[in-house]
């Protein structure tokens, strides 16, 4: 006769039916927390839908290339090249941008860590002595020690891809931070070039003031000769002396502007004002405006601010997926394996084995609307990112068109201004010669001298504006910055429900 198995029936039979039933019930109850009616309200615009060909001439045949990384070298000034290189070597502004990039990369690493299992180890030595007033001997009145060694394993499978979505959202933010860092470098180099052009303009104004002072001094000497000869009175002499003082004041104002711009350049380099004293007069040459004959989508794909905005749209899109995953059941696996004994001699025996573990299923049923509110917030975050991206597209095309049209207009103004200045120079010479010969008056000379000064100042301003328009165009075209590679934060290959590939095309507007 067979002996009965002393193991309880409950322990002998392990059917998956209870687990399956729990999972089925969880899926049924998950419908209590619904995503119905929640969705983003906007979508990224297609860059090619923004008409710009007639304004920027992108439809015309052109073999022009995008600006290079050292676009400022086109101005042909070695001192400018050295100043930009010094600025890009490191300033507080760039240090902050780089720190934000590292911060975003670390955040992506934290999001990736949450997708993986964890294993921890612990060792503990404890002791307890109960008083005999609470427990009789031998339990009470004696000291009992125990030693415990444990391994703790935890893993929550990403059944619905929510954790991977958070990871990819963090990747998108890290890529956006990298593009922002490149945008900061472009802005810094552009600001250095802008201040350098303003310095060149200040030197030009100083030349104009000195030339005006020379003309006024020449007129004053002639007036003094005529007064001595009895041909003029003291009025004409005092008028010429007044013109000298006015020109000297203009020269002093121009020199003050030179000093201030040298200080500004030193600050852009991250240095003290003494650094600006070593900056000499600029020698810049004009550049020829050109825009590559490409569609706006490719044109804008070179701008770091637009690329950063695209990554933020993609990150927000994955944030929506992560929020939706929280509406579904989750499974957590937990296991503890260890050794426990009252003495070290028995710690590694088979009787000291300690084990605990199993799966746990959790699901949202009623949460007071918290999950729906979180999803609504994620939808709003996506709409904000899309609005910022769409606005970046419009602003980028506007900046390209403004810079290109400014260059064309300024070229025409410079040609007209040069002709007017040549005519004014001839008129001043004729008036001066007639006055010297006694055929004209000092008023004729002053009347001819005044527009000459104004035209010299206008031409100096137009030259500076023309150089600045070239800087604006290079910046609007992206400045040739090195954008982060698409696989800089590529997710590891995996199998299973969390192996959805990441969109690595940074020039493509992501969609939810």
465, 476, 475: which is closest to 407 by C-alpha?
465
Backbone angles phi, psi at 148, to 5 degrees: -130, 125
Same-domain status, 224 and 183? yes
Same-domain status, 199 and 262? yes
Task: Specify if 197 maps to a domain.
Answer: yes
Give residues with Cβ within 8 angstroms of 77, minimum separation 6.
Answer: 196, 282, 283, 284, 285
Task: Specify if 11 maps to a domain.
Answer: no
Task: Specify if 9 maps to a domain.
Answer: no
Task: Specify if 409 maps to a domain.
Answer: yes
- Domain range for residue 150? 118-157+329-362
Task: Give yes or no for a contact between 481 and 185, defined as CB atoms under 8 angstroms apart.
Answer: yes
Final residue belonging to a domain, choices 362, 379, 411: 362
Give the Å distances, CA to CA, from 25 to 21, 334, 504.
6, 22, 39
What CA dihedral angle connects 454, 455, 456 and 458, to 10 degrees? 90
Same-domain status, 226 and 278? yes
**pTM value > 0.85:** no
CATH (domain of 82): 1.20.1600.10
Same-domain status, 47 and 146? no
Report which secondary-structure segment, H or E, holds 401. helix 370-436
Same-domain status, 319 and 242? yes
Same-domain status, 261 and 403? yes
CATH (domain of 142): 2.20.200.10
How high is the mean pLDDT in each 10-residue block of the chain (512 residues)? 46 51 56 72 80 63 74 94 92 87 90 90 84 79 81 89 92 92 92 96 91 75 63 63 80 93 94 94 86 73 90 94 90 86 72 82 83 91 94 90 89 88 79 71 67 85 93 89 52 36 36 31
Same-domain status, 101 and 140? no
Same-domain status, 311 and 345? no
Residue bearing tokens 């990298």: 178
Task: Specify if 108 maps to a domain.
Answer: yes
Task: Specify if 144 maps to a domain.
Answer: yes
Same-domain status, 303 and 385? yes
Task: Specify if 505 maps to a domain.
Answer: no
Helix, strand or coil for residue 56? Answer: helix
Q: What is the model's pLDDT at position 166?
A: 92
Report which secondary-structure segment, H or E, holds 221. helix 162-228
User: What is the number of structural domains in the chain?
Assistant: 2
d(CA 161, CA 326): 10
Same-domain status, 302 and 421? yes
DSSP 69-85: TTGGGGG--HHHHHHHH
Same-domain status, 204 and 244? yes
Same-domain status, 410 and 467? yes
Give residues with Cβ within 8 angstroms of 187, minimum separation 6.
Answer: 475
Task: Specify if 23 maps to a domain.
Answer: no
């Amino acid at each position: 006769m067979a002996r009965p198995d002393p193991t309880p029936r409950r322990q002998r039979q392990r059917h998956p039916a209870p687990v399956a039933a729990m999972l089925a019930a969880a899926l049924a109850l998950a419908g209590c927390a619904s995503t119905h009616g929640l969705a983003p309200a906007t979508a990224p615009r297609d860059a090619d839908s923004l008409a710009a060909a007639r304004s920027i001439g992108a439809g015309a045949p052109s073999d022009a290339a995008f600006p290079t990384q050292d676009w400022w070298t086109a101005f042909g000034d070695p001192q400018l090249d050295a100043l930009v290189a010094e600025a890009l070597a490191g300033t507080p502004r760039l240090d902050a941008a780089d720190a934000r990039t590292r911060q975003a990369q670390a955040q992506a690493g934290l999001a990736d860590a949450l997708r993986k299992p964890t294993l921890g180890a612990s060792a503990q030595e404890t002791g307890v002595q109960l008083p005999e007033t609470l427990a009789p001997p031998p339990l009470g009145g004696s000291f009992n020690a125990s030693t415990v060694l444990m391994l703790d394993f935890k893993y929550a499978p990403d059944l619905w891809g929510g954790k991977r979505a958070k990871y990819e959202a963090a990747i998108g933010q890290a890529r956006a931070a990298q593009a922002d860092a490149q945008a900061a470098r472009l802005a810094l180099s552009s600001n250095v070039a802008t201040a350098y052009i303003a310095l060149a303009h200040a030197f030009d104004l100083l030349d104009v003031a000195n030339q005006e002072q020379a003309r006024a001094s020449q007129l004053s000497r002639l007036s003094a000769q005529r007064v001595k000869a009895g041909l003029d009175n003291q009025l004409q002499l005092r008028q010429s002396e007044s013109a000298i003082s006015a020109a000297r004041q203009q020269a002093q104002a121009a020199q003050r502007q030179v000093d201030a711009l040298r200080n500004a350049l030193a600050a852009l380099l991250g240095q003290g004002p003494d650094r600006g004293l070593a900056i000499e007069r600029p020698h810049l040459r004009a550049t020829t405006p050109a825009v590559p004959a490409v569609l706006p989508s490719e044109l804008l794909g070179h701008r770091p601010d637009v690329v950063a905005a695209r990554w933020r749209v993609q990150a927000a899109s994955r944030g929506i997926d992560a929020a939706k995953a929280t509406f579904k059941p989750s499974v957590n696996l937990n296991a503890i394996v260890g050794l426990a004994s009252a003495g070290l001699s028995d710690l590694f025996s088979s009787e000291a084995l300690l084990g605990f573990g199993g799966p746990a299923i959790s699901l949202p049923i009623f949460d007071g609307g918290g999950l729906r509110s979180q999803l609504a917030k994620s939808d709003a975050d996506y709409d904000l990112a899309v609005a910022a991206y769409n606005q970046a597209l419009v602003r980028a095309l506007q900046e390209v068109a403004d810079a290109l049209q400014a260059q064309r207009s300024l070229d025409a103004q410079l040609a007209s201004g040069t002709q007017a200045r040549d005519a004014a120079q001839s008129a001043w010479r004729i008036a001066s010669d007639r006055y010297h010969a006694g055929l004209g008056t000092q008023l004729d000379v002053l009347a001819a001298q005044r527009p000459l000064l104004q035209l010299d100042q206008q031409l100096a301003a137009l030259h500076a504006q023309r150089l600045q328009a070239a800087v604006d165009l290079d910046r609007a075209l992206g400045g040739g910055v090195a954008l982060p590679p698409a696989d800089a934060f590529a997710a590891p290959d995996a199998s299973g429900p969390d192996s959805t590939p990441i969109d690595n095309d940074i020039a493509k507007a992501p969609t939810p």
